[in-house]
Amino acid sequence: MSDHVYWIIEAEVNDGKLDELKSLMAEMSDATFSDEPGALNYEWSLSEDEKVVHIFERYTDSAATMIHMANFGAKFGARFMGALKPTKCTLYGAPDDQVRKAMKPMGAILMTSAAGFSR
């Protein structure tokens, strides 16, 4: 097992916001890649009808996760919530209490590691 923290967020695309969302996805991906070396995965997927998005994010540890969350809140939070309606958030790995608290507003369900490995 590792100190990694990761999640999958499922969200509905708000009506009329698809083009805005696509621009925001690219901007957020570029910023996360450039500014957050602790971000290991940052992947967005759209359903075939482009009405649902899944976001998979994985970080080296809770400290890297909190750096991302601070950047997200300062730079993107309002636009993210204007383009999407989160419907489900599942949190995995080894999040500390600070991360768990920060993810509560997303309705995060914590799944604790039970077996396996991470490379």
Q: Residue 100's CB: how many other CB atoms inside 10 A?
A: 14
Let me know if residue 28 belongs to a domain.
yes
Q: What is the CATH number of the domain that holds 108?
A: 3.30.70.100
Convert the pLDDT of each residue in 8-36 to its tens digit: 999 999 999 999 999 999 999 999 999 99
**What span, in angstroms and rounded, lies between the C-alpha atoms of 111 and 93?**
8
Residue 119 counted as domain residue: no
Task: For the chain, give the percent of residues with pLDDT over 90.
Answer: 90
Is position 16 within any domain?
yes
Domain that holds residue 88: 5-112
Contact criterion met (CB below 8 Å) for 21 and 84: yes
In a domain, 117, yes or no: no
Residues 46-51: contacts with CB within 8 Å, 24+ apart?
A: 46/13, 50/13, 50/18, 51/12, 51/13
pTM, to two decimals: 0.93
Total domains in the fold of the chain: 1
